Amino acid sequence: MGRHEQREQVFRLLFQVEFHEAGDMPRQMRLFLENNEDISSRKDADYIEARCQAVRELIPEIDRLIDENTVGWETSRMGKVELAVLRLAVYELRFDADIPAGVAIDEAVELAKEYGQDNAGGFVNAILAKIVKLDKAPC
């Protein structure tokens, strides 16, 4: 399984966060990983679980960053697909130095186009571009 496929599985797990209590997520994660035919190796399952957990732990900080870079679109108003995509992409942009910003944004836009509403790709791209610009601004 390549990085793209792993990222898609992490996105699918993060999407579930909005539908389950925090205490139920470990069980949901286990069920997702055990019953997913697309995840064929323990190594992939471990990576997906660890990445999802890392993002989940930072959701308050990630959501604050998203909220600070949108006008009239607080995370509480966003579509659940777009929110899950943005959370994963912001995690990759801010907390994973191994993933280039361009890759994180391109992958997020593709996920948004595939799973989100008609304008989801542009919406996600605009927010992430703003966050990247903020990161590159001189202090």
Residue 103 in this model has a pLDDT that exceeds 60: yes
| Side-chain-facing half-sphere of 4: CA atoms under 13 Å | 6
Residues 6+ apart with CB under 8 A from 25: 16, 17, 56
Domain 3-135 class?
A: mainly alpha
Residue 138 in this model has a pLDDT that exceeds 60: no
Q: Which whole-number Å values give the CA distances from 125 to 28, 82, 111, 120, in the listed order?
A: 29, 11, 11, 8
Residue 17 in this model has a pLDDT that exceeds 90: no
Interatomic CA distance for residues 88 and 62, integer angstroms: 9
What is the maximum alpha-carbon separation in the chain? 47
Give residue 62's pLDDT band: very low, low, confident or very high (50, 70, 90).
Answer: very high
Q: Are 88 and 55 in contact (CB under 8 A)?
A: yes
State mean pLDDT over 91-105.
Answer: 94
**CB under 8 A, 24+ apart: contacts of 122-130:** 123/73, 123/82, 124/82, 124/85, 124/86, 124/89, 127/66, 127/69, 127/70, 127/86, 128/86, 128/89, 128/90, 128/93, 128/104, 129/105, 130/69
The chain-wide mean pLDDT, for the chain, equals 92
Single-letter amino acid, residue 88:
L
Query: Any idea which of 12-26, 38-52, 99-113 has the lowest mean pLDDT?
Result: 12-26
Q: What is the pLDDT of residue 41?
A: 92
The pLDDT tens digits of the residues spanning 27-51 come to 998 999 988 999 989 999 999 999 9
Residue 92 in this model has a pLDDT that exceeds 80: yes
Q: What is the pLDDT of residue 135?
A: 67
Both tokens of 126, joined, read: 């605009």
Domain residue ranges in the chain: 3-135
State mean pLDDT over 57-73.
Answer: 92
